[in-house]
Structure 1
Amino acid sequence: MKHAGFIAGIVLAAMAVTASGALAMGPGRQMMSFEELDTDGNGEITRAEMEGHRAARFQEADTDGDGKLSLDEMQAQARQRADVRAQRMMEHLDADKDGFLNPAEMPKHERAGKMFDRADRDGSGGISKAEFEEAQARMKDHRMKRHGNSAKE
């Protein structure tokens, strides 16, 4: 059930993001155009228009129309978005268009090497248990500084 809570948090966070015009996302997490958010066409996006967008997203997720989101509804919304994202990733990453991703087609994360190097404090080419624990503590401290006490475990 830990995953259910995590998914619920993701859905709620995604819905909260819609309160910002710069980050407004439509179905499948596409950037919404200014024109889509400026529903009255007056050349400005108002708080009321942003609230209307947020309410529409809520209503879309509230499939039984009871004015509340159940865990099942939030999970269904998260699965729908994950399905769209996975489809787009496949279309983008599947260089040979065979419908599968092989290791060479997987994205390379530039930060992974830098993170490894930061954890390997003594430059030995390996991460000891002490270095690993130190890196975890630094990451936890960083999260706490960025997000306040909500990052505590």
Structure 2
Amino acid sequence: MKTKVLMAAVLSGLVLVAGAAQADGPRDRPDFATLDLNGDGALSLDEMQAQGEARFAAADANGDGALSAQELIAAAGQRAEDRAAKMIERLDANEDGVLQMDEMPRQGGDRAERMFERVDADGDGVLSQDEFETAQERRGGRGGHGGKGGRDRG
């Protein structure tokens, strides 16, 4: 029984740390040196759990040991601001502090063009209502979600 409780605690701690590390995406994961709090060149479970606890404490604005919806939204908003700033820094080719359409990465690359060409049956460069409806029928009314239709993620 003690072994099961210990394993559950270890797994819970690892899940907490993994979730916290992934929350900001791969670019914002803490490096080894950051996690190695005592600088001994090794990571203990306590050090890994401390990272998750530090993220929780940073989000807990009022220090009550619980995260309200407002605190979670504020933490997410800060991460969004940080990501937006990094995105602008990375993609802003003309360095004007904003992103124009030509600086944005093309989503799907040439895939959208190939799909359009397949649907444009008569090759006239535009889609008629018939071509559009035929394409929808071929897709089986799947929408744009691989057969899953629109999903409510809220």
Shorter-normalised TM-score: what interval?
A: 0.5 to 0.7
Higher relative contact order (CA 8 A, sep 6+): 1
Give me the TM-score of the superposition, normalised by structure 2.
0.62
Cα RMSD, aligned residues only: 3.8
Structure 1 unaligned segments of length 5 or more: list them: 1-15, 142-150
Where in structure 2 are the equivalents of 1:23-102 lying within 5 Å?
24=21, 30-102=28-100
Structure-1 residue corresponding to 2:9? none
Deviations 1:53-88 (A, max 9, x none): 100100000010000001110000001010011011
The range that moved more, 88-97 or 101-110, is 101-110
Structure 2 unaligned segments of length 5 or more: list them: 1-13, 121-126
What count of residue pairs does the alignment treat as equivalent?
125
Q: Given the alignment of the two structures, is residue 124 of structure 1 paired with residue 119 of structure 2, yes or no?
A: yes
Asked if 1 retains the 8 angstrom alpha-carbon contact of 2:92 and 2:99, the reply is yes
Asked if 1 retains the 8 angstrom alpha-carbon contact of 2:35 and 2:43, the reply is yes
Give the structure with the larger helix fraction.
1
Give percent identity, aligned residues only. 34
The range that moved more, 65-74 or 98-107, is 98-107
Aligned-partner Cα distance in 2 for 1:97–1:84: 18
Deviations 1:97-124 (A, max 9, x none): 112211110112346727x74xx8xx33
Aligned-partner Cα distance in 2 for 1:112–1:32: 35
Q: Which has the larger radius of gyration?
A: 2
Give me the TM-score of the superposition, normalised by structure 1.
0.63
